């Protein structure tokens, strides 16, 4: 099926996603690994990608700028703007990958909800496609697998720290 192009802010897109995980870590720790560059560089990129650059201004209107690098050296600049920040329970960001002229291939809204369960945390990650421009199709085609791999990285990283 072809990826739909256009504005999807007020309607469903076939690549809208929702993930739920129960993580074996307290909520504050999970919140910290989602909001601090020293942690994000270790798990946010789906394997085998790495994140050699990560700059973050965690506040409403603040920007997160990072770089994904493939094993072959292909790089993707990524950026997110934080729209809502409610530590340690919720944050919302809008993310995109711009082309060489600065126009986003796509824009997605990611809502991260963290429910305290004592020694564990229930994570809900909702991904809403807001905009898809030509060239955004390959990114969204792999989104489900990529987010799944990234969440697996998160679980592994939480077990190491």
Predicted confidence (pLDDT) per residue in 75-91, tens digit: 999 999 999 999 999 99
Model confidence at 1, pLDDT cuts 50, 70, 90, reads low
Asked whether the predicted pLDDT for residue 47 surpasses 90, the reply is no
CB 127 within 8 A of CB 17: yes
CB 59 within 8 A of CB 40: no
Give the mean model confidence (pLDDT) for residues 38-42. Answer: 97
CB 149 within 8 A of CB 47: yes
Structure-block tokens of residue 137: 């199709």
% the chain with pLDDT above 70: 99
% the chain with pLDDT above 90: 94
d(CA 114, CA 30): 8
DSSP 8-state symbol, 25:
S
Predicted confidence (pLDDT) per residue in 120-148, tens digit: 999 999 999 999 999 999 999 999 999 99
d(CA 28, CA 108): 25
């Amino acid at each position: 099926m072809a990826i739909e192009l256009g504005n999807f802010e007020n309607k469903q897109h076939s690549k809208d996603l929702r993930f739920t995980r129960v993580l074996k870590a307290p909520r504050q720790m999970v919140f910290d690994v989602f909001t601090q560059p020293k942690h994000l560089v270790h798990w946010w990129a789906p394997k085998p990608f790495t994140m050699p650059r990560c700059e973050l201004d965690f506040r409403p209107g603040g920007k997160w700028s990072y770089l994904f690098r493939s094993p072959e050296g292909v790089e993707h600049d990524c950026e997110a703007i934080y729209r809502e920040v409610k530590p340690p329970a919720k944050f919302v960001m809008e993310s995109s990958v711009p082309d060489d002229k600065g126009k986003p291939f796509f824009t997605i809204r990611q809502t991260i909800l963290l429910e305290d369960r004592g020694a564990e945390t229930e994570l809900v990650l909702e991904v809403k496609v807001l905009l898809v421009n030509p060239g955004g199709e390959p990114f969204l085609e792999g989104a489900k697998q990529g987010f799944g791999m990234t969440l697996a990285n998160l679980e592994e990283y939480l077990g190491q720290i």
